[in-house]
Structures are given as structure tokens and as C-alpha cells.
Amino acid sequence: MSVDRLEHIISVFGSFDENLRLIEDELNVRITDRNSELALTGDDENIMYAEHAINGLLSLAAKGENIDSRSVRYIIGLVREGHEDKISELARDVICITAKGKPVKAKTLGQKTYVEAIGKKTITLGIGPAGTGKTYLAVAAAVAAFRDKSVNRIILTRPAVEAGERLGFLPGDLQSKVDPYLRPLYDALFEMLGAETYQKYLERGNIEVAPLAYMRGRTLDDSFIILDEAQNTSREQMKMFLTRLGFGSKIVITGDITQIDLPAEKTSGLKEAMRVLDNVQDVAVCRLTGADVVRHVLVQRIIDAYERYEKSRPSEPARTPPRSRRKPSEKS
């Protein structure tokens, strides 16, 4: 197969041809570069996959996309599933520009569907494992809406539930106590806006980052509201949060139903909301999977391994609360 543009070749090949070596390892083929002519050797089916993958990567490079190992693995996965025709859909519009000038874009088809749902629907539920960009993309969409003056403020909240640990006494004022729970939201906002701009909007009241308990009794108009780690809400908290929606506002709810830190006897508000809201008009339920993980490749393998384990092990019997024992009445 021939390749025309040198800059596209350099982008697709990667540093020291690391992307080509990855394609070779994943598809068990041999790729040789001879003056813009790529010679592929191996099994016929794998050669076909490799050609489709390289052509797909070249089309992304031609549209200015950054090609890294994660991109290569994802494109190979699409090709193996017969979805090479969808590769062109990955060259999408920019959601937001970070404070350092980096464009934020959806990197997988699942993320693309999620971002489109956020744009079209008033309430969007983004459910998926760690590393799928649920919170990051939601914050990017919120900042974009704020910059476009579609909303007047950004509100980010999450339940203050410890992840299977007991942190004990935390020193400081109330804000110091809740900050550790909200740190991932701060980090995303800092990257999008920069620390100084974030602080300015915080002081003006355009940005609010607070625990979920602070939402009770409020009606939130002209706001972009994100509820993060929603798998740790109770059913009562979730209903309370959903009914905070005011005119001109948008809600995004994110969570991972495989990492619920609630007591065993408590129902996750997110799991219930997925069932209750699935067919409600102007509400989207987006389910991201391990294929949408954009962190280290090992994160995706860990998620896949846990999914296989959960499917193979026998289901545990439901836990019932212990019955209280009554002391026999004493005889006089």
C-alpha cells in the first residue's frame, strides 16, 4: 500500500515507529517501509485488518488528530469488529479549549455519543467504568456552555461518601473537610480554566463546587449542573437532586455502578434512576464500556478482567439485616 503525505506517515508511524510495531504485535503481521510504500506480510485476514487500520489512522492524521498508542489500539478494535467505516466519525468538533490551549475532543464512538447527548438533552446520565472520561467531558461541556453564555454558572457536586475507608476526624473548617471529596472536580476545572480564572469565577459565584447535601431546597436556573460519583447517592438523594432542575439548566449525572460504596442494604440512586428515567423524554442514558477507556491500556485490561470475573463467579445470596434479640423477661 502507498502513502502520499510524509507528515501523515510520521504521525501514524509514531516515535521510532512505535505505532507500526504495535500494529505488528496486535495483528501478527510484518510491516516494511520502502519509500512511502508499505509492504505487509502475514495472514491474509490480518493483512486486511492492518491495511484498514493504517488507512483509518492516516485519515485521522489528515484531519489533525494526534495518533498515540491508545488511538492505534482503539482503531484496531473497530477494524476487527467490522466498523472501519465509523473511523471517520472520530474526527470531531472540539468540545472545549483548555487553559493551556489543548483541544478537548471525544476519543471514542462511545464518548462521541455521550457528548452529543449532553448537547441535545436536558438531563444526561453517563454510566461507565473508570477512565472513560465521564467527568472530564462533562466539565468540558459545562465550560463550553458557560463561555458561550448558554448558562450563567457551573455547579459541580458529588456525595461525600468514603470509598470503603474510614477517614476519621479531618481538621479545618467545613470547606477543608469536604475538599478531598471534590478534588477530581477541582482538577478538571483547573485544567479547563486555569487556577486564576477559576478563582475569579468562584468568587463571583459563577462556579460552585459543593457536596450533594448543599443542593437540598434549591431551584437551579440557568445552570450547568454535574453530579459526579452518583453511584453513591441514595434513592432519596437522587430524587432530591433531579428535582433541583430549573429553567434554562442542564444536568449531567456520572457514575460507575461497579464501584458503589454504600452500605449493602442501601439502594444506589444511580442504579434506580437508570431504570426510572430510561424512557423519559429529553433524558439520555449513555452507557460507556471498557472500549471507551482513555487511560493506560492496563486500566482497560483490569476492567475487562473484573467483568469476566464478575460474570463467572456464582451470585452471592442477598444479605439480610440481623434480627434483634429480645432478652427474656426477668421473673420477680
**Per-residue pLDDT at 273:** 94
The full DSSP string for 131-176 is TS-HHHHHHHHHHHHHHTTS-SEEEEEE----SS-------S-HHH
Q: Where in the chain is the domain with CATH 3.30.1370.10?
A: 6-90
Per the document, the length of the chain is 332
- 221 or 211, which is more confident: 221
pLDDT tier at 170, thresholds 50, 70, 90 = low
Question: pLDDT at residue 223 above 60?
Answer: yes
**Per-residue pLDDT at 280:** 93
- 200 or 64, which is more confident: 200
pLDDT tier at 71, thresholds 50, 70, 90 = confident
> What residues contact residue 141 under an 8 Å CB cut-off, 6+ apart?
95, 96, 115, 118, 119, 224, 252
**Per-residue pLDDT at 252:** 97
- Indicate left, alpha or beta for 297 from its phi (over 0: left) and psi (-120 to 50: alpha): alpha
**Per-residue pLDDT at 235:** 92
Q: Positive or negative CA dihedral for 23, 26, 31, 37? A: negative
Question: pLDDT at residue 305 above 90?
Answer: no
Class of domain 6-90: alpha beta
How far, in Å, CA of 99 to CA of 192, rounded? 5
**Per-residue pLDDT at 143:** 94
**Per-residue pLDDT at 17:** 82
pLDDT tier at 91, thresholds 50, 70, 90 = low
> What residues contact residue 254 under an 8 Å CB cut-off, 6+ apart?
125, 126, 127, 134, 135, 138, 226, 227, 228, 229, 230
Question: pLDDT at residue 216 above 50?
Answer: yes
Decide if 132 contacts 106 (C-beta within 8 A): no
**Per-residue pLDDT at 238:** 94
Average pLDDT, the chain: 82
Strands (E), the chain: 29-34, 37-42, 96-97, 103-104, 123-127, 153-158, 207-211, 223-227, 250-255, 283-287
**Per-residue pLDDT at 225:** 96
Decide if 228 contacts 185 (C-beta within 8 A): yes
Question: pLDDT at residue 174 above 80?
Answer: no
| Cell numbers describing residue 93 | 468538533
Question: pLDDT at residue 187 above 50?
Answer: yes
Question: pLDDT at residue 243 above 70?
Answer: yes
How far, in Å, CA of 53 to CA of 159, rounded? 42
The answer to which of 103-112, 123-132, 307-316 has the lowest mean pLDDT is 307-316
**Per-residue pLDDT at 166:** 47
Decide if 20 contacts 74 (C-beta within 8 A): no
* pLDDT tens-digit readout, 248-268: 999 999 999 988 888 888 899
**Per-residue pLDDT at 163:** 47
**Per-residue pLDDT at 323:** 55
> What residues contact residue 285 under an 8 Å CB cut-off, 6+ apart?
125, 127, 274, 277, 278
Q: Where in the chain is the domain with CATH 3.40.50.300?
A: 96-312
Percent of the chain with pLDDT over 90: 32
CATH topology for the 96-312 domain: Rossmann fold (3.40.50)
Decide if 127 contacts 288 (C-beta within 8 A): yes
**Per-residue pLDDT at 269:** 93
